[in-house]
Amino acid sequence: MKWQGVRELFLNQFLLVSILDYHEKGDKKIVDEVAPIRTISEKNANKEFIRAK
């Protein structure tokens, strides 16, 4: 799913995703496609971010 589509479907929500495709622009990685896994509550967002691999 394209990143923009995910942003529109899950507006104002924290979301755990798997990155399927990206490209590099200079020293940055730009995400192109993701697979949504699940939404995350605002209260657990930092904990999930730290746990992400």
pLDDT digits (tens, 9 = 90+) for 2-49: 988 998 999 999 999 999 999 999 999 999 999 999 999 999 989 888
Number of domains in the chain: 1
2 with 35: CB under 8 angstroms?
no
pLDDT of 52: 78
Give the C-alpha distances (Å, rounded to integers) separating 37 from 6, 25, 27: 11, 26, 27
The token duo for 15 is: 């979301």
32 with 21: CB under 8 angstroms?
yes
pLDDT of 11: 92
Domain extent for 42: 3-51
